[in-house]
Amino acid sequence: MARRKKLYEGKAKILYEGPEPGTLVQYFKDDATAFNAQKKDVIEGKGVLNNRLSEFFMTGLTAIGVPNHFIKRLNMREQLIRQVEIVPLEVIVRNFAAGSMAKRLGLEEGTALPRPIVEFSYKDDALGDPLVPEEYIIAFGWASQQDLDDIVALALRVNDFMAGVMHGVGIKLIDFKIEIGRVWDGDFMRLIVADEISPDSCRLWDIETGRKLDKDVFRQDLGSLSDAYTEVAKRLGVLPTNVTHATKPTLIN
Ligand code: TMP
């Protein structure tokens, strides 16, 4: 069998050449990293859960007309996606203060914001993905003003969808990060949601208890990350039927 070509390996995912031009296979690893990979671990089953969860969110976005890269899930850890040109920005939407915003502004985590706030970081690991104003983005040509208007509109639609879905299962969407890709139809360019949407890239708090159900569990050593992600998947009804933690055969006495 011909070995497929690895095109890119990131901290949590690998991209392989897809079966047809314009497609890629996105593989979800079990690796968890935080603080620009200064903290690392392998969380058994995380890749399986994120593959399912990203499928669930992207499929929902498609259903409400928000264009995204997802085509279909291939297996436990892989999905077929559209190849895009990634815009080198992390697009962050915040509903409540947390993380870097809470720190920067001295706000208590969980403080409601007056409206959803969209901000951009420049995707560059060596620089630690610095927060950048729109001026920089346009001046350096990472995106045009028109692109940014479209990206903000997309991000706010994703926010409304995600906040509503999560609210329905008793979870508050504090904030999240998405990435945007360009696809070309002849001379026309469209912007679509790409990368992944999973508890790796969101902050999710249980509405009743405030329990964190996202990657902050790993960042802040708050307990089992796979338990937290499994809880999110269970509530959304997307838990894989197979046992997610067993990656090797185990002896049953
Ligand atoms: P922040 O508060 O640390 O800036 O994070 C904002 C949101 O972006 C939060 O939901 C976590 C997510 N995020 C990523 O997906 N990748 C990253 O590298 C960072 C720093 C944050």
Residues 31 and 90 in one domain: no
Residues 57 and 19 in one domain: yes
Domain holding 78, by residue range, is: 6-84+224-235
Tokens of 194: 């790409």
216 lines ligand 1 (CB under 6 A): no
Residue 201 lies in a domain: yes
How much is the pLDDT for 129? 97
Q: Per DSSP, what are the bridge partners of residue 173?
A: 204
Tokens of 171: 């979870």
3 has a pLDDT exceeding 90? no
pLDDT digits (tens, 9 = 90+) for 177-213: 999 999 998 999 999 999 999 999 999 999 999 999 9
Residue 175 is part of a domain; what is its CATH number? 3.30.470.20
12 lines ligand 1 (CB under 6 A): no
User: How many Å apart are CA 84 and CA 198, to the nearest integer?
Assistant: 19
How much is the pLDDT for 239? 86
Residue 44 is part of a domain; what is its CATH number? 3.30.200.20
Residues 113 and 65 in one domain: no
Q: Which residue is closest in CA terms to ligand 1's atom 17?
A: 201
Residues 127 and 55 in one domain: no
Residue 246 lies in a domain: no
52 lines ligand 1 (CB under 6 A): no
23 lines ligand 1 (CB under 6 A): no
Decide: residue 155, CB within 10 A, 0-12 exposed, 13-18 middle, 19+ buried: buried
Return the closest-CA partner of residue 57 out of 156, 181, 159, 172. 159
Residues 152 and 199 in one domain: yes
How much is the pLDDT for 79? 98
Segment 132-152 mean pLDDT? 98
pLDDT digits (tens, 9 = 90+) for 69-121: 999 999 999 999 999 999 999 999 999 999 999 999 999 999 999 999 999 99
Could you give the 3-state DSSP secondary structure of residue 219? helix
179 lines ligand 1 (CB under 6 A): no
219 has a pLDDT exceeding 90? yes
Give the up-direction half-sphere exposure of residue 92: CA atoms within 13 A in the CB hemisphere.
Answer: 23
Could you give the 3-state DSSP secondary structure of residue 46? helix
43 lines ligand 1 (CB under 6 A): no
Average pLDDT over the chain, rounded to an integer: 95
Return the closest-CA partner of residue 108 out of 198, 174, 36. 174
2 has a pLDDT exceeding 70? no
Residue 141 lies in a domain: yes
Residue 182 lies in a domain: yes
Segment 216-239 mean pLDDT? 97
248 has a pLDDT exceeding 90? no
Q: What is the DSSP letter of 92?
A: E
Tokens of 196: 């992944």
Return the closest-CA partner of residue 234 out of 169, 175, 174, 159. 169
How much is the pLDDT for 93? 99
How far, in Å, from the CA of 14 to the mean position of ligand 1? 20
35 has a pLDDT exceeding 60? yes
pLDDT band at residue 252, thresholds of 50, 70 and 90? low
Q: Which residue is closest in CA terms to ligand 1's atom 16?
A: 201
Token pair 């999240």: residue: 176
Candidates 13, 91, 92: which one to mutate for ligand 1, based on the most atoms within 8 Å of Cβ?
Answer: 92
Using H for helix, E for strand and C for coil, what is the string for 11-43?
A: CCEEEEECCCCCEEEEEECCEEEECCCCEEEEC
145 has a pLDDT exceeding 80? yes
pLDDT band at residue 45, thresholds of 50, 70 and 90? very high
